[in-house]
Amino acid sequence: MKIRRADQRDSAALLKLYRCVADVEGGISRNTNEINESFIDEIVTKACNGGFIYVAENPFHNDILIAEIHTYPTGIQSLQHTLGHLQIVVHPDFQGTGIGRRIFSTLLQDITSNHKKIARVELIVRESNTRAITFYKTLGFREEGLFERRILNANGDLESDIPMAWFNPNFIQ
């Protein structure tokens, strides 16, 4: 399996990957009908222009993507040391195989080694997604509060989101 930086040429494969993950309840906040070309184009454009985007290729078909992670700045000057809008998706057939950890570690290692002006990376996770919360903590993320009743889930119930942050150990102000 190859992990590499993504670019606009990956948009069609990213669209397929995101739709596949969105089909799984609780996979990501967006549902399948919200995953379209303009959504993917926005992600890729922002991540390629000041942010980060990595993909993992299927080891048997390198034109098929099995994982993606991206994050990018908010565009606010006072938050220039912060990356947000983090999203990681792993194809359902490859979840639990370590690909998520590998692609996430690639991102964090790049930031640690090459981007010392980035102090923190932020993400938001549903409180019901305890598996992801535990995973993020193993990568060094810390919980930073609670957005109460923020998400309307597929059952029509409101659930809370948990903001989490990772801090670059090599940050230089």
Q: Where are the domains of the chain?
A: 3-167
What does the pLDDT read at residue 108?
99
pTM: predicted TM-score of the whole model, two decimal places: 0.95
Average pLDDT over residues 25-37: 86
Identify the bridge partners of residue 166 per DSSP, sorted by sequence position: 121
Q: Is the confidence at residue 162, as pLDDT, over 90?
A: yes
Tokens read off for 108: 């964090």
Contact between 53 and 6 (Cβ < 8 Å)? yes
Among residues 22, 97, 85, the alpha carbon closest in space to that of 52 is found at: 85
What is the C-alpha end-to-end distance of the chain, expressed in Å? 36
Per-residue model confidence (pLDDT) at position 63: 85
Q: Cβ contacts of residue 131 below 8 Å, gap of 6+?
A: none
What's the pLDDT tens digit per position in 12-23?
Answer: 999 999 999 999
Mean per-residue pLDDT, 139-144: 98
* Architecture field, domain 3-167: 3-Layer(aba) Sandwich (3.40)
In a 13 Å sphere around the CA of 60, the CA atoms on its Cβ side amount to 1
Q: What is the pLDDT of residues 50-97, one digit of tens each?
A: 999 999 999 888 789 999 999 999 999 999 999 999 999 999 999 999
pLDDT at 132: 94
Residue 129 has pLDDT above 80, yes or no: yes
